[in-house]
Amino acid sequence: MSPSVLHIADPERPFEIITDASDIAIGAVLMQDFGNGLQPIAYESRKMQSAERNYPVHDKEMLAIVHAFKIWRCYLTGADVTKGVYYLRSGTDRIWVPSYRLLRELLIQEVHDWNLSGHFGVDKTLKALQRFYYWPDMVTNLQRYVAGCPICQRMKSSHQRPTGLLQPLEPPQRPWQHVTMDFVTGLPAGPSGNDAVLVVVDRLTKMAHFAPCRRTITAEETSRLFISTVVRLHGIPAAIISDRDPKFTSKFWQNTWARYGTHLQFSSAYHPQTDGQMERTNQTMEQLIRTNCPDRKKWEDVLPMLEFSYNNAPSATTNHSPFYLNYGMDPTVPVSTNVESQI
């Protein structure tokens, strides 16, 4: 195989630019078709500046496009852009969705309404959709769809917090080093008699586990439930943050975790939202039950899938799902299966 020979540009023929970006550099090639396939006109590459290396993936890809237009402006000034961007590469190619309103609405519906998706808001649904697809005006289409979703409008509540001084918590250094826990109560009792949920959240990755229980659960039973739900999967945490529920301030609870070397921390008495992550997770879980379980007495049946839905939704803080941050990959869901079959 012989190396490609650069050709002289023909201003009467259309140009095609192919760009790519890595973690440290960007590159591009300017090409034209002279009747026997695309041929190179010019190559360009450069290292990224230190600040540019901190860009998210899509910004790095766009940086390569902008740089190519600047370098080859003598060829491209006045040229018509006829096909725009086919793919923004982010490890795998995303499918460019054509301008068919029904098709785009069906994709939004699959990501937003599917029983493992959880009827999340615009930001989280957008991040989930952008894993696989791209089209212009995606945000506008999604905002319109979510605003018109009757379940979202009927079931979701405001999350405005009261004003006042808070006491922020120190950030953890690794997953499941620091966890927060709380109970969600007031749920209708099902056949098992459970009417509450123990919610445990990893403060670093935001991953959560939802364990059904009874409102009357004791400190000893809570300890066993925590070990079977969290410790068996992630090990013993260095710190547990909770409110001052009598179960968490009891001698049994404190002695149990003292033996394991786990430090117990309590949220502020007058500001339980000091641990805002726990508060928000509880609200999200209750919202998921309302929107995905019309028969409230069957909430325990759908709780495992709601936990999956929560952990698969990208976090506004990290821009990644808790599942991805824990396992280094996204889970297989129907949307990803459809995409893989088409690439």
25-38 pLDDT, tens digit each = 999 999 999 888 88
CATH number of the domain encompassing residue 77: 3.10.20.370
305 and 182 assigned to the same domain: yes
138 and 259 assigned to the same domain: no
79 and 106 assigned to the same domain: no
195 and 281 assigned to the same domain: yes
85 and 99 assigned to the same domain: no
Average pLDDT over residues 7-11: 89
* Domain termination site, one of 91, 107, 139: 91
* 168 within domain boundaries: no
CATH number of the domain encompassing residue 193: 3.30.420.10
* 223 within domain boundaries: yes
106 and 122 assigned to the same domain: yes
The contacts found for 155-159 with CB under 8 angstroms, 24 or more apart, are: 155/119, 155/287, 155/290, 155/291, 156/121, 156/287, 156/291, 157/283, 157/287, 159/280, 159/283
* 162 within domain boundaries: no
d(CA 268, CA 6): 68
183-237 pLDDT, tens digit each: 988 889 988 999 999 999 999 999 999 999 999 999 999 999 999 999 999 999 9
Give residue 162's pLDDT band: very low, low, confident or very high (50, 70, 90). Answer: very low
308 and 231 assigned to the same domain: yes
* Domain termination site, one of 51, 72, 91: 91
The alpha carbon of 278 is separated from its chain's Cα centroid by a whole number of angstroms, namely: 17
d(CA 90, CA 330): 13
* 213 within domain boundaries: yes
Give residue 98's pLDDT band: very low, low, confident or very high (50, 70, 90). Answer: confident
Domain of 255? Answer: 178-312
Alpha-carbon dihedral of residues 293, 297, 300, 305, nearest 10 degrees? -10
Domains identified in the chain, total number: 3
Structural tokens at position 87: 């793919």
DSSP H helical ranges for 194-329: 219-226, 232-234, 246-249, 251-260, 276-292, 299-312, 322-327
Structural tokens at position 284: 């999200």
77 and 148 assigned to the same domain: no
Amino acid at position 37, single letter:
G
d(CA 338, CA 343): 9
d(CA 146, CA 155): 13
* 128 within domain boundaries: yes
261-299 pLDDT, tens digit each: 898 888 754 444 445 677 778 787 888 888 877 788 889
Task: For the beta carbon of residue 217, count every other beta carbon within 10 angstroms.
Answer: 17
Q: Packing angle between helix 122-130 and helix 101-113, nearest 10 degrees? A: 110
Under DSSP, is residue 240 helix (H, G, I), strand (E, B) or coil?
A: strand
CB-based contacts of 134: which residues, under 8 Å, 6+ apart? Answer: 85, 87, 88, 94, 95, 96, 97
Average pLDDT over residues 11-38: 89
CATH number of the domain encompassing residue 134: 1.10.340
68 and 111 assigned to the same domain: no
> Residues 250, 219: contact at Cβ < 8 Å?
yes
Average pLDDT over residues 77-81: 76
* Domain termination site, one of 91, 115, 148: 91
22 and 130 assigned to the same domain: no
- For residue 253, pLDDT beyond 50: yes
